[in-house]
Amino acid sequence: MSAAVQAFGPAAVAILAVLLAWSTGLDQHTVLPPLIEARFYGFFLDRYPLFAAALVYGLARIGFAMIRTGKAGLVRRLLGGAVAIGLLLGASLYPTFGGFVLRSAFATGGIAFLGQQPMAIAYGLGAAAAAFLFGLVFGAGNLLVVRRPVANDSWRRRLLRGTGHIAMRYLSLWFALATLGLADALGFGAWPRRPLSETDALLAAALVFVAFLPHGCLDWILTATGSTSGRGIDQPDAADLIRTAGYGKIV
What does the pLDDT profile of the chain (251 residues) look like in tens digits? 678 888 899 999 999 999 999 999 988 888 888 877 777 878 898 889 999 999 999 999 999 888 876 666 777 788 888 999 999 999 999 988 999 999 999 999 999 999 989 999 999 999 999 999 999 988 887 777 775 555 566 667 777 878 888 899 999 999 999 999 999 899 898 898 899 999 999 999 999 999 999 999 998 988 777 644 444 333 333 344 334 444 444 33
The residues spanned by each domain of the chain are 3-244
Identity at 122, one-letter amino acid code: A
Evaluate whether 251 touches 242 at the Cβ level (below 8 Å). Answer: yes
Is the Cβ–Cβ distance between 58 and 9 less than 8 Å? Answer: no
Closest CA to 131 of 178, 95, 94, 91: 178
**DSSP secondary structure string, 191-238?**
TTTSPPPHHHHHHHHHHHHHHHHHHHHHHHHHHHHHHHS--EEPPP-H
CA pair distance 100, 43, nearest whole angstrom:
14
